[in-house]
Amino acid sequence: MITRESIKLELCEAGLIAVVRARTCEQAVPLSHALISGGIRAIEITFSTPDAPEAIRNVTRDLGDAAIVGAGTVVRMEQCHAALDAGARFVVSPILRTSLITPVHNANRAIMVGAYSPTEAQTAYESGADMVKIFPADGLGPSYIKALRAPLPDLPIVPTGGVRLDTIEPFLKAGCVALGVGSSLLTKSILDSDDWPALTQLARQFSDRLKQVRQSI
């Protein structure tokens, strides 16, 4: 049985969450297949994707349990409900939108709430967020995460922004439970050209690097 707790565990085990901002709804299924082939099974389809709920529904139907499909860039309640109705297993908000937590938990699904400051991160956690999305993390970096977790070690942090092949190790060593990977994986050139073999190859580099780092920690 799929539960909120099992989804959180799956996301932590997966380690990498592909943040998908597709150009079209139709791209969602083939790019998801490419990600799975490259070893990345956690897929966050953002509401910046045209017809995002339909994209979530199509990927969920096509890939089934092979993928952990969620919704990203959720900032309004109607988006949250649409994502859950489409089959999203997790919901991600880039901002501190704690009002989304209750409906997601009522659906027995997981939610990641956005934060930037220590106060926002702790507020998200105390409000019941399953994970805390530090965003944008590119200007903060692993050193910020390490400093943040020193007084707040219980925070289940997932940074998004600035996660690249060369930053996987420092982010994980800083104590992140998973990493959100966006444009460094789903590059503009790949999306513009529908180059799914290139996406599979790049996804494999990320998943291999994750395994290497986890074995060394």
- Is 146 an annotated catalytic residue? no
Mean pLDDT, 10 residues at a time, the chain of 217 residues: 96 98 98 98 98 98 97 98 98 98 98 98 98 95 97 97 97 98 98 98 98 95
| Consecutive H or E run containing 69 | strand 68-72
CA distances from 136 to 100, 116, 119, 140, 145 (A): 20, 7, 16, 8, 12
- Catalytic: which of 10, 26, 44, 126? 44
Does pTM surpass 0.75?
yes
HEC-encoded secondary structure of 165-191: CCCHHHHHHCCCCCEEECCCCCCHHHH
DSSP 68: E
With beta carbons less than 8 A apart as the criterion, state whether 204 and 215 touch: no
- For strands 110-115 and 16-20, give the pairing: unpaired
d(CA 150, CA 174): 10
Tokens of 156: 């289940």
- Is 133 an annotated catalytic residue? yes
Choose which CATH entry (3.30.565.10, 3.20.20.70, 3.40.50.300, 3.30.310.220) describes domain 4-208: 3.20.20.70
d(CA 163, CA 2): 28
At 105 the pLDDT is 98
What are the helix (H) ranges across the chain? 4-14, 28-37, 52-63, 77-85, 101-106, 118-126, 141-149, 168-173, 188-193, 196-216
- Catalytic: which of 26, 126, 133, 146? 133
At 1 the pLDDT is 84
